[in-house]
Amino acid sequence: MTVPRWIIHLPTTLTSLDGVLILTTALRESLGHVTAIDFGETTLSEEDSQFVRTRIWCDARVDDGGRCLRREGHAGPCGSAGEELSR
């Protein structure tokens, strides 16, 4: 039997998608060393539409053994730490 994982829902007072993306990126950069947090699976939702989730990062495996840190749906090849993280 697989042990269920827990999800932390972290509401914010932010009102723009750009603002919450900046916050999410800052959280990943500052807490990325915490192995209990799977930032690759991070999703966003509007307060009144929590069942509609938007995936943030690509999270595909890359050659160095890590995960792609670029935005979901990015153009070009996947990239890992130290590479451009925008779309």
Q: Look up the pTM and report it.
A: 0.76
Percent of the chain surpassing pLDDT 90: 47
Give the model's pLDDT for residue 18: 93
Q: Is the pLDDT assigned to residue 81 strictly greater than 60? A: no
| Residues β-bridged to residue 71 | 57
Q: Is the pLDDT assigned to residue 76 strictly greater than 50? A: yes
Report the 10 Å Cβ neighbour count for 59. 18
Give the model's pLDDT for residue 85: 47
Instruction: Note whether 41 and 14 are within 8 A (CB).
Output: no
For residue 19, give Cα distances in angstroms to 13, 26, 34: 10, 11, 23
Tally of residues, the chain: 87
Take residue 14 and report the two structure tokens written for it: 């932010």
78-84 contact pairs (CB < 8 A, 24+): none
